[in-house]
Amino acid sequence: MASTSIVLILGSGPRVGASIAEKFASNGYKVAVASRKGTGSKTAEGYLSLKADFTKPDSIPALFDAVKAEFHAAPNVVIYNAGALSIPSDKDSVLSVSAETVVSDLNINTISPYVAAQQAIIGWETLPKDTKKTFIYTGNILNVSIVPVPMMLTLGIGKSASAFWVGLADLTSAARGFRFFYADERKEDGSIKGHELDGPAHGEFYAQLANHEENVPWHATFVKGKGYVQFK
């Protein structure tokens, strides 16, 4: 592993985000985590904790600047783990979600990660060629399956849009050694995990993706204990 092995985790909750951070730290990475509860200082685990507002895409570059200032190098692994959904004002009418709310959630689900990917590439250009450079977006089944629940509207819009640009970025960046993944944990039968997401399973799989193991495609569907599993 290169001496510049640094991971920036954007959206660090107590389950998935915390497990990802723990796994990468155990693999020798310097870890930075960004969330609404960020402190601007080190956590008890030794992570750099940054305060973030993912509704504001123009705030993303400053997070990368803070990582470089602290660790004297850009992060070679960037993980976007934030997400948002909003309940319609009329629970039975999907289009009762206001346009303003759609925009706010789209910023969190699509625009901020897009800006993060741009910043990742800027940083990667400064790193040694033999350093593995990886962007991972925490997705779900909504890019390929419409769940008929009105409250899925803004989340589904964001996941679908992000899956496209993540896939396009990956398929057009191979020659540069950059990998982009839309990671989606599934049940063994391929159905949505929903609230049953497994934090440690994400940590294990994301560490594999960061090492560019087993030629996993950009649409990285996975099952706990099995790793990548292709679903139709």
Domain ranges of the chain: 6-228
Q: Is 159 a catalytic residue?
A: yes
pLDDT at 3: 60
d(CA 54, CA 66): 16
pLDDT at 143: 97
Assigned CATH topology for domain 6-228: Rossmann fold (3.40.50)
Which residues does 171 contact at the CB level (< 8 Å), separation at least 6? 218
Torsion of CA 86, 50, 120, 27, to 10 degrees: -110
Could you say which of 30, 132, 159, 224 is catalytic? 159
pTM as predicted: 0.96
Q: What is the average per-residue pLDDT within 190-216?
A: 94
Which single residue is written with the structure tokens 């509207």? 153
Q: What is the average per-residue pLDDT within 200-226?
A: 96
pLDDT at 214: 84
- Helices 16-26, 199-210: axis angle to 10 degrees equals 50
Which single residue is written with the structure tokens 């920036």? 8
pLDDT per residue as tens digits for the range 19-51: 999 999 999 999 999 999 888 889 989 999 999
